Structure 1
Amino acid sequence: MVFNEKVTISLKLNDLTMEYEDLRNYLNSHLEKNPTGIVLDFSQIEVISSVALGILVGFTNRVRGLGIEVEVENVSPRLKQILRLVSLDRVFGSI
């Protein structure tokens, strides 16, 4: 398998409110590019549902299990506070 460069997934509110299976498929479609890393860009997200967050955690764990690096960037102060409150800052690394 040939690995390409990092892939940035710029999350938008409509991505996180779509049907949850569609969200899973949307995230997984980025793996077809055989990235060396995934960057989850939260610059357009202020809040997130618990189900969408669970899907992102599952995706992150799955990707890391494949040996692919995952980074999170542009997390708003409000969302950082929520992630820290439920200890998900550990899953996503430094936010």
Structure 2
Amino acid sequence: MATWGEGSARARNLDRYGHVARKTFFAEGEEGTVENWGRLKPKLKQDIRKIKAALSNTGCMNLEEFRNKAIIELMSTYTQQIVGNTHNMQVKE
């Protein structure tokens, strides 16, 4: 049985979530920190699209509904080895 995490190379493809253009696509499921990229405003539209896509993928219409429905699942060490590591990030432990 093949398995992969949302942030894995296999999961990061345009067809998986119905994206038709690379402009609307981004990797999901990665958690960590990156260096400061500067001003917030230029990146804000992209971040809003990411939040809306995450809500849509979970079947929620807004953040309140997401908070009420969210279930946090921790990955086992074994699963983390299968999924792989995130890229260009300092991963949160």
TM-score (norm 2): 0.32
> Which structure shows the bigger proportion of residues in helix conformation?
1
Q: Which has the larger radius of gyration?
A: 2
